[in-house]
Structure 1
Amino acid sequence: MKKLLNTLYITSYEKYLSLEGETVVISEQGKECARIPLHNIESIVTMGYAGVSPALLGKCAEYGIVISFLSRSGRFLAHTVGPYNGNVVLRKTQYRYSENEEICTSISKNIMTGKLFNSRGVVERAIRDYSSSLDVDKLKSVSEDLKESISNIEKCKDTEQLRGVEGEAASRYFSVFDNLILQQKKDFAFSTRVRRPPTDPVNAMLSFSYTLLNSMTTSALYCVGLDPYVGFMHKDRPGRTSLSLDLMEELRSVFADRFVITMINKRVINKGDFFVKENGAVYFTDDGKKKFLQSWQMKKQNTIVHPFLKEKVEWGMVPYVQALLLARFLRGDIDGYPPFLWK
């Protein structure tokens, strides 16, 4: 099993990354700030504009360290990767399957089953843990709706119908998302999912966590030799990591959404960690972003038992495991793609 290493997050737009020997050197305005050995790093996520030296880019490519470039607001810009792992036969199979609607639908059904199963699990866990503080009847109603949506997945004849089921289920799930926020209600009210741009702190946290999850999933797909840009449910679109979006669907609720709720309910993040731009967009302050990323890194290191492998893995390894299972299916080693069904 691949070993989970640290992700280096650069949140200041003035930081410059360079290489000295086998070490990443972080500097600002010509002054050295920190040094981190490359052997401790599995990926780099930078939200700065000062840049990365060509030497470091080359060394990261050689070592298989993916560098993800985000805007200051957390919007994905680009990835840099080295030579592909795996083999061309695997990717040719992926491309061929992506053109077959029947196969795309079969894979997508498993992915959507995982997504809705896990979304329902988040609601059910809230009912179980905080019944005295919640509108239990409302949450149980949504839980039953999600259960019905899961059963409707098998009836779908193509990915277009699947997207319809998923969209309706997501709407029901987010209709009770505000109920899961038990602390700081005045500052972290949630009414609906708003993406570009986020217009409240909760949506800002969700968008940022999805970007981080997408980066993890993309790195995992590169590691196993799959093309992150060719998906099965999310169809091809220039510049979009469609397969990454496919694979992260089943992890959104149990990894990202629950993490956001925990950050609010445990008061790790507060209203002072955000600022509002003139157009109404809400984003993290630099200090808020640092707190969020520190907790995200700790979350990745927590150990769970993978529901399919029945082995202990770190949360941060789950995208890699799922990418590996997808690759095994495409190679014909297993009969179907087993989604991540968290209990």
Structure 2
Amino acid sequence: MKKPHYLFSSGRLQRQHNTLMLQRATEEPTPDLPDDGPEATNDGLPTVAADGKKVPFAVETVDSLYVFGEVDINTKLITFLGQQGIPAFFFDYYGYYTATLYPREAQLSGRLHIDQARHYLSPKRRLLLARAFVESALFNIERVIKYYQPRLEGDAKAAVGITLADLTRDRDALPLTTDILTLMAVEGRIRSRYYQLWPYFLGPEVSARFPFTKRERQPPSNELNALISFGNSLCYTAVLRQIYRTALDPTIAFLHEPGDRRFSLSLDLAEVFKPLLVDRMIFRLLKTGEIQPKHFSAHLGGCYLTEAGRKIVVTHWDERLSQTVEHRGLKKRVSYERLIRLECYKLVRHLCDPVGEPYQGFHMWW
């Protein structure tokens, strides 16, 4: 069975016959300093030498590569990964997602590509899909809130009630929205109110160790913001991995504006799954004590997960994607990761036949 393969060690990744091999470095890499200072180290050269143990692993078991260490690659490896249809996702020293090595598309459909572009170019069709993404994201946020609501009392329960009322009102008003910017503003406003409830969900003991008042990015200002940023990167790449297995063009999106050097459609679909995959994962990791303040460190004015912390999150992330649920339509158990693929198929059907197969975003039912 193919699964994502996570590389935290630094060194050199290369093809060895018809398999993969990582020659590890015996030293720890150092972070690059800013480009514009006298001590800048962004000269493109490795900060560690690949002089350690050689670790082979079978390419037949690799669905995708997640590279967290400082790893050298060459064109032979890139060609081999392309032949095997294996995407590689790269993260910098601080755990920030930076780039994707995306193989040549194995699933091609000229008709679907044209239909996808037509939906983007039609304001009416684009708005319809963008509304569906936002509506399902808000619905899933509501499900998370309602899961914790019965456990609260007093001021916490009152705050949750107010947020739920706001969320219901905004979700019911989505059909009246007339432009993309308004849709994104609605989603952003609700998510901001939702984040303000997190200290209640986590409880006073956890909140004392991990204070959190608002979402802050670039850089994350505290531990919870660092966890959210890292989790969102994992969700974005998981969605991109599933898009690659279909004929969808990941650069043509509907809620997020298509841009250069990013796969905007992954951002659209990630909004739908973040409440289930990222937010619930964070609550569990913090409430069980698997993630502690020692798993974070401060660099360049921001807060980041350490390598040990990233390993804990990635292990739980892998387990979460493998978790199964009884699918009400298929009448069988499917994994959370498979739910993302099914969402891609729903979008494909809508793009090819918007009247007969209208897209309705994923709604959590448990």
Structure 1 residue matching 2:66: 3-state secondary structure: strand
How many pairs align?
337
Read off the aligned partner of 1:229 and give its amino acid letter: T
1:115 and 2:137 correspond: yes
Q: 1:45 aligns with which of 63, 66, 74?
A: 66
Tell me the CA shift for residue 132 of structure 1: 5.5
Read off the aligned partner of 2:22 and give its amino acid letter: I
Q: 2:311 aligns with which of 290, 310, 315?
A: 290
Partner in structure 2 of residue 258 of structure 1: 280
| Aligned CA distance change for structure 1 residues 190 and 307 (closer, same or farther; 3 Å) | farther
Partner in structure 1 of residue 7 of structure 2: 10
1:20 and 2:24 correspond: no
Does the aligned pair in 2 maintain the 1:116–1:146 contact within 8 Å? yes
| Aligned CA distance change for structure 1 residues 242 and 167 (closer, same or farther; 3 Å) | same
Does the aligned pair in 2 maintain the 1:308–1:338 contact within 8 Å? no
Tell me the CA shift for residue 152 of structure 1: 1.0
Aligned runs of 1:139-288 on 2, under 5 Å?
139-182=160-203, 183-277=205-299, 279-288=300-309
Partner in structure 1 of residue 33 of structure 2: none
Per-residue CA deviation, residues 26-64 of structure 1 (Å, 9 max, x unaligned), is: 221232353221111111111233222333322221121
Per mean C-alpha deviation after superposition, the further-off stretch among 16-25 and 221-230 is: 16-25
Where structure 1 has 5 or more consecutive residues not aligned to the other structure, the ranges are none
Per-residue CA deviation, residues 255-299 of structure 1 (Å, 9 max, x unaligned), is: 10111111100111000001011x320011111111111111111
Read off the aligned partner of 1:6 and give its amino acid letter: K
Read off the aligned partner of 1:193 and give its amino acid letter: R
1:337 and 2:359 correspond: yes
Larger Rg: 2
Partner in structure 1 of residue 43 of structure 2: none
Does the aligned pair in 1 maintain the 2:152–2:200 contact within 8 Å? no
Cα distance in 1 for residues equivalent to 2:134 and 2:329: 16
Read off the aligned partner of 2:158 and give its amino acid letter: D
Structure 2 residue matching 1:154: 3-state secondary structure: helix
Does the aligned pair in 2 maintain the 1:114–1:250 contact within 8 Å? yes
Per-residue CA deviation, residues 174-198 of structure 1 (Å, 9 max, x unaligned), is: 1212221124322211110001100
Tell me the CA shift for residue 142 of structure 1: 1.0
Does the aligned pair in 2 maintain the 1:90–1:225 contact within 8 Å? yes
Cα distance in 2 for residues equivalent to 1:268 and 1:152: 40
Per mean C-alpha deviation after superposition, the further-off stretch among 39-48 and 70-79 is: 70-79
Percent of paired sites with the same residue: 22
Does the aligned pair in 1 maintain the 2:219–2:303 contact within 8 Å? yes
Does the aligned pair in 2 maintain the 1:15–1:51 contact within 8 Å? yes
Does the aligned pair in 1 maintain the 2:231–2:278 contact within 8 Å? yes
Does the aligned pair in 2 maintain the 1:74–1:211 contact within 8 Å? no
Tell me the CA shift for residue 309 of structure 1: 4.3
Tell me the CA shift for residue 141 of structure 1: 1.6
Per-residue CA deviation, residues 136-195 of structure 1 (Å, 9 max, x unaligned), is: 121122112111111011111222221222122122211212221124322211110001
Where structure 2 has 5 or more consecutive residues not aligned to the other structure, the ranges are 25-49
Does the aligned pair in 2 maintain the 1:102–1:158 contact within 8 Å? no
Cα distance in 1 for residues equivalent to 2:12 and 2:339: 31
1:56 and 2:77 correspond: yes
Does the aligned pair in 2 maintain the 1:234–1:245 contact within 8 Å? yes
Q: 2:337 aligns with which of 289, 312, 316?
A: 316
State the TM-score, normalizing by the size of structure 1: 0.93
Query: Does 1 or 2 have the higher relative contact order (CA < 8 Å, sep 6+)?
Result: 1
State the TM-score, normalizing by the size of structure 2: 0.87
Per mean C-alpha deviation after superposition, the further-off stretch among 73-82 and 211-220 is: 73-82
Cα distance in 2 for residues equivalent to 1:108 and 1:137: 31
CA RMSD of aligned residues (A): 1.9
Aligned runs of 1:81-160 on 2, under 5 Å?
81-84=102-105, 85-128=107-150, 130-131=151-152, 135-160=156-181
Cα distance in 1 for residues equivalent to 2:331 and 2:191: 29
Structure 2 residue matching 1:68: 3-state secondary structure: strand
Tell me the CA shift for residue 82 of structure 1: 2.1
